[in-house]
Amino acid sequence: MKVAFVGLGVMGFPMAGHLAKAGHEVTVFNRSPQKAKAWAAQHPGKAAASVAEAAAGAEIVFLCVGNDDDVRGVVGEALPVMAPGAIIVDHTTTSAKVAREMADLAGQGGRWFVDAPVSGGQAGAENGQLTVMCGGDPAAFARAEPVIAAFAKATRLMGGPGAGQLTKMVNQICIAGVVQGLAEGMHFAKRAGLDPLEVAAAISKGAAQSWQMDNRWATMAENRFDFGFAVDWMRKDLGLVLDEAQANGARLDMTALVDGYYSEVQELGGNRWDTSSLVARLEK
């Protein structure tokens, strides 16, 4: 298919690469032109000088940008020039509200919008193993899903517009609790005089096992926090979660606490550390 990809960060750069490797005709755009040029030098496809140039005639436009306002801006530029009946697939983590707004806006122009936030981090993007949770029209999703499969191991339609974003919020709630538990377990193990790696070997085959333990325990023990998804982005996501909870009445006591703990990590200078850096505030 003729596709565009807007936003070439640590996630978008490899995701767009998988689309090109799958044989799609890919045009990319990034606010920093050098990233788009670097992508085009490494993959079949081309770099555009604007969102509109990238999206012109595209059947699917993929987004992986920063926040609600970024999505509004890109969609506003892309919709008028996309092919009739084309689909925007937004992999940005945003509010459910903006997903619904964009779906309405796309529909007014005879096009479609699917909110499709992802989980799996930088490694998942690079290995083409992301989990994608989607909201939108079933027919639009059915057309987009085989293309998304270029970089996803699992893609599921969760409901109408905004349902993908709400599901991603559940994902972030669960991750926040797991990482805080790991941080406190690590801190306790060290204070008790135990070898953290031996502790992990003992407990990771039982009920305490998790993806975070398997992939982050050893690096947490070494105070290495350079594995992709940054504290600043996690706080953005948790802010969306807490705003939505205020609107729907959900009680998220633990999530609010962990959001505050991440603010302490930011005060330590850990804005760009990955989310496993919660342990750093316990050992300062």
Residues 91 and 200 in one domain: no
Query: 29 pLDDT exceeds 80?
Result: yes
Of 159, 188, 210, the position where a domain reaches its end is 159
Give the integer Cα–Cα distance in Å for 158 and 151: 19
Residues 113 and 170 in one domain: no
Q: Which residues share a beta bridge with 3?
A: 26, 60
Q: How many folded domains does the chain comprise?
A: 2
Residues 145 and 15 in one domain: yes
205 counts as catalytic: no
Which has the closest alpha carbon to 231: 191, 183, 166, 170?
A: 183
Percentage of the chain with pLDDT > 70?
Answer: 100
Residues 61 and 99 in one domain: yes
Residues 59 and 75 in one domain: yes
Run of H or E residues at 133: strand 130-135
Residues 69 and 84 in one domain: yes
* Segment 185-208, tens digit of pLDDT: 999 999 999 999 999 999 999 999
Query: 284 pLDDT exceeds 90?
Result: no
Of 159, 187, 208, the position where a domain reaches its end is 159
* Segment 121-174, tens digit of pLDDT: 899 999 999 999 999 999 999 999 999 999 999 999 999 999 999 999 999 999
Q: Look up the pTM and report it.
A: 0.94
Residues 121 and 21 in one domain: yes
- Angle 85-32-275 from CA coordinates, rounded to 5°: 90
Range of the domain at 56: 2-159
Residues 179 and 198 in one domain: yes
Give the integer Cα–Cα distance in Å for 168 and 166: 5
What does the pLDDT read at residue 161?
98
What does the pLDDT read at residue 175?
96
Instruction: Please provide residue 124's backbone torsions phi and psi, each rounded to the nearest 5 degrees.
Output: -65, -40
* Segment 204-225, tens digit of pLDDT: 999 999 999 999 999 999 999 9
The pairing of strands 130-135 and 118-119 is antiparallel
What does the pLDDT read at residue 30?
98
What does the pLDDT read at residue 228?
74
Domain CATH number, residue 155:
3.40.50.720
Query: 111 pLDDT exceeds 80?
Result: yes
Domain CATH number, residue 185:
1.10.1040.10
What does the pLDDT read at residue 119?
95
The band of 93, judged by pLDDT with boundaries at 50, 70 and 90, is very high
Residues 8 and 97 in one domain: yes
Which has the closest alpha carbon to 65: 44, 40, 41, 35?
A: 35
Of 140, 159, 178, the position where a domain reaches its end is 159
What does the pLDDT read at residue 227?
85
Q: Locate 109 and state its tokens.
A: 């122009």
The band of 235, judged by pLDDT with boundaries at 50, 70 and 90, is very high
The band of 120, judged by pLDDT with boundaries at 50, 70 and 90, is very high
Average pLDDT value over all residues in the chain: 97
Residues 11 and 48 in one domain: yes
Single out the catalytic residue among 35, 37, 153, 168.
168
The sign of the dihedral angle between the CA atoms of 241, 247, 251, 256 is positive
